[in-house]
Amino acid sequence: MSFPPWLTWLDECASTNTWALQHIDKFKQGDVVFTPRQTSGRGQQGRLWYAPAGVLTASFILQPIAPAELPLLSLAAGLAVIHALEDLISLPASALGIKWPNDVLLWGRKLAGVLGEARLPLAVVGVGLNRQVDWEMVLAAGTINLTPEQVTSLSEITATPPDVLPLLVKLRDYLLQAHGVIRHGGLAGLLPQLRQRDVLYGCPLIVSTGQGNLTGAGAGIDELGRLLVQSNNGSLQALAAGRVLRWEALRRGQE
């Protein structure tokens, strides 16, 4: 197989993000590190990202970035995943959504996650995408701490998920585009698309903020990439970080 010059294809590695950060001096804008076998994937805050056979794991190098742009790029990466998939698979517009700050959901279950890390002025944006995973079989083995209600895979909606290379090409194109938009005008240019895909908008939720739990309803995402929550005590809160513990999906369009 011949690879494009921007692609580093590793037969196996612990984590494409870790590998890219360790070799950051080699990389420039638009480079991509991919492996079909990621053995120790990382999620946010040290959580695990599992990659059984069929999970696409790749890291995209973007430069330059300023520190405040990293969370914006992570959100934009979620949109890049959605645009790439909608170009390659025929899907209803309500199928794919973004769950702040870094998840892509397919009909409410996690399809992809994003981990953005920086070695300024470069960013390493890692994407894990469940492309062709037989979760029933994988979870039956009992070694992965997930339930079938939490996860999904492209293979659940199409018998022939797109190949890895066309997916990487599309993801890279959309990420480069989003990087340009963010460099020139911040997140403002992407807010309408985010608003359209925000699965938390209008949903009752509980967020762990680090200083306790906040209960309310999702009220959108602002220009700084913060989650807006209309709290049950009446105030509007903007959260730069936090973990959505529980949310009650409004199942738009699915029924």
Ligand X SMILES: Nc1ncnc2c1ncn2[C@@H]1O[C@H](COP(=O)(O)OP(=O)(O)OP(=O)(O)O)[C@@H](O)[C@H]1O
Ligand Y SMILES: O=C(O)CCCC[C@@H]1SC[C@@H]2NC(=O)N[C@@H]21
Angle ∠(172,52,145) on CA atoms, nearest 5: 115
Q: Interface residues for ligand Y in 168-197 (CB under 6 A)?
A: none
User: For ligand Y, which residue of 49, 50, 60, 135 counts as binding (CB under 6 A)?
Assistant: 49
Residue nearest to ligand Y (CB): 113
97-116 residues near ligand X, rule: CB under 6 A: 99, 102-103, 110, 113
Q: Is 152 in the site for ligand Y (CB under 6 A)?
A: no
Candidates 8, 21, 50, 57; binder of ligand Y (CB under 6 A) is 57
Q: How many CB atoms lie within 10 A of CB 79?
A: 21
38, 16 in Cβ contact below 8 A? yes
Q: Concatenate the DSSP letters of all residues of 207-223 into one string.
A: EE-SSSEEEEEEEEE-T
Q: Which does 243 bind (CB under 5 to 8 A by kind): ligand Y, ligand X, none?
A: ligand X
> Considering CB distances under 5 to 8 angstroms, the limit depending on partner class, which of ligand X, ligand Y, none binds residue 57?
ligand Y
- Our finding on whether 128 is near ligand Y (CB under 6 A) is yes
Footprint of ligand Y on 93-122 (CB under 6 A): 102-103, 113-115
- Choices 32-40, 61-69, 72-80, 96-104; region in contact with ligand X by CB under 6 A: 96-104
* Residues binding ligand Y: number (CB under 6 A): 20
Determine, following the binding rule CB under 6 A, whether residue 27 of this chain makes contact with ligand X. Answer: no
Residue with tokens 């949310």: 247
Q: Does 130 bind ligand X (CB under 6 A)?
A: yes
Q: Does 55 bind ligand X (CB under 6 A)?
A: yes
CB-CB contact of 34 with 16 (8 Å): yes
151 binds ligand X (CB under 6 A): yes
Establish if 188 lies at the interface with ligand X (CB under 6 A): no
The residue behind tokens 């517009």 is 93
**Quick check: 240 binds ligand X (CB under 6 A)?**
no
The residue within the footprint of ligand Y, chosen from 41, 101, 218, 242 (CB under 6 A), is 41
Q: Which among 38-46, 64-72, 133-141, 163-171 is the span making contact with ligand Y, rule CB under 6 A?
A: 38-46
Q: Binding to ligand X by residue 201, rule CB under 6 A?
A: no
Rounded-to-integer distance, Cα 215 and Cα 230, Å: 8
Binding site for ligand X (CB under 6 A): 43-44, 47-50, 55, 99, 102-103, 110, 113, 128, 130, 146, 151, 243-244
